Amino acid sequence: MLADDHALIRRAIRSLLERGGGFQVVAEAKDGREAIDLALAQRPDLAILDVGMPGLTGIDVAVFLGERQPETRVIILSMHSDESYVLRALNAGAKGYVLKASPAEDILDAARAVCAGNAYFSPVVTRLLVDEYVAERRKRGGEDPYESLTLREKEILLTLASGKGNRDIAAEFNISVTTVETHRRNIFGKLRLHSLPDLILFCVRKGLIH
């Protein structure tokens, strides 16, 4: 499902997805309220939402879908590359964040990655966040908190960032759920993070997610 208040943008994205990516667009919405109605009716696997629609924004729609229809994965389209917008999108449950000024291939890459269960961020966004992280570490000095993680914690950090739950991680690493929960607490404590969106953003800033 596509949701953007500009018909030309919807048409261009639809053509890109259907001709170049093998996707089928089942619905188009011009605002957030229509996006919610169509998502409930069509139950799409993926929703690509403009962050700045009138009335209900793409962030509002993402929050609604996360609560009512979590099987629909969300990509946010935005003009903004600063960290605050990215974090808002992550907190709303979005798995992808693509700048409108990005090359068209970014939307295809994002759709494929998010449908495969991975996170995706426009390379420009990733570079900016990585540069900010490096500058911040230089200013603060001291040890990078990432280096305080054990090898297993670094592995689990990436699986958490991909959206996998504790049971799936336990099966992947052949360990107990209790052990995963312990690693998870240690990771959040060492990195001083408080939520999964914070963790995903940390991975982007660190350059662990591309």
- pLDDT of 210 reads 64
- Contact by Cβ (8 Å): 95, 74: yes
From 16, 30, 206, select the one nearest 127 (Cα to Cα).
Answer: 206
This prediction has a pTM of: 0.79
H helical segments located in the chain: 7-15, 32-42, 58-68, 83-91, 104-115, 123-140, 151-161, 166-173, 177-191, 196-205
pLDDT one digit per residue (tens) for the chain, 210 residues: 999 999 999 999 999 999 877 899 999 999 999 999 999 999 999 999 999 898 899 999 999 999 999 999 999 999 988 888 898 999 899 999 999 888 888 999 999 999 988 889 988 888 888 887 788 778 877 778 899 999 999 999 999 998 888 999 999 999 999 999 999 999 999 999 999 989 998 998 888 876
- pLDDT of 136 reads 79
- pLDDT of 75 reads 96
Decide: helix, strand or coil at residue 48: strand
184: tokens are 């998870």
Domains and CATH numbers, the chain: 2-127 (3.40.50.2300), 143-205 (1.10.10.10)
Q: How many CA atoms lie within 13 A of 176 on its CB side?
A: 3
**Span between the terminal Cα atoms of the chain, in Å:** 24
- pLDDT of 47 reads 98
- pLDDT of 42 reads 96
- pLDDT of 140 reads 76
